[in-house]
Chains A and B, each alone.
Chain A
């Protein structure tokens, strides 16, 4: 069965530090990959997405992610975080061969200290 793993459950860092969140998935076929963010009290919002082409994708608010097919990974990065990046981050994988089934990882809660 399709699964998505996020390695860190909680991350605490200071402003201006760099952030990298890991995501691995278990399916070997064609996938679409997403990172969603959930700010406190708000609904899930799309940060960035990968469908095809350049494996390095850029999203909103300075975030980027790299798709490494050989490692089944789609790690999220931001060179310098801000206090406003405090949120929960979810990796998600969509399987086109499974009727566009969208599966989420367990999430990583990020706290940025001012």
Chain B
């Protein structure tokens, strides 16, 4: 079974530029999560989708971050404009909604804003 795919693996941008990250979840997984993991901290949930609907985006900085999952499969997270404090690893995870299941994580995208 293929895992959660994320791209790119690394990205370096200047502040005020925009950037987009892509995630393809495990086939058939209805739930998709985006997390931000700042160095030395635990993953912080940014947004959670179930199919193409948003379940929780309470911690998403909506003035600069946006995410979509238009067809309920792959998802894109965008930052525009980026700030220095956005430097982090952006993790995508997916899980099934059938019964009790765990979330599976991708390798993440390491973003450096300079």
Contact = CB atoms under 8 A, between A and B. Distances in A.
Interface of A: 4, 6, 32, 34, 36, 43-46, 49, 51-52, 90, 94, 98-107
B105 A44 contact: yes
B43 A104 contact: yes
A94 B45 CA distance: 12
A49 B102 contact: yes
Nearest to B95: A100
Given A106-B41, A106-B42, A101 B55 contact: yes
Nearest to B3: A43
Contacts of B33: 102
Q: B42, B95, B104: which has the most chain A beta carbons within 10 Å?
A: B42
Contacts of B44: 104
Contacts of A49: 100, 102
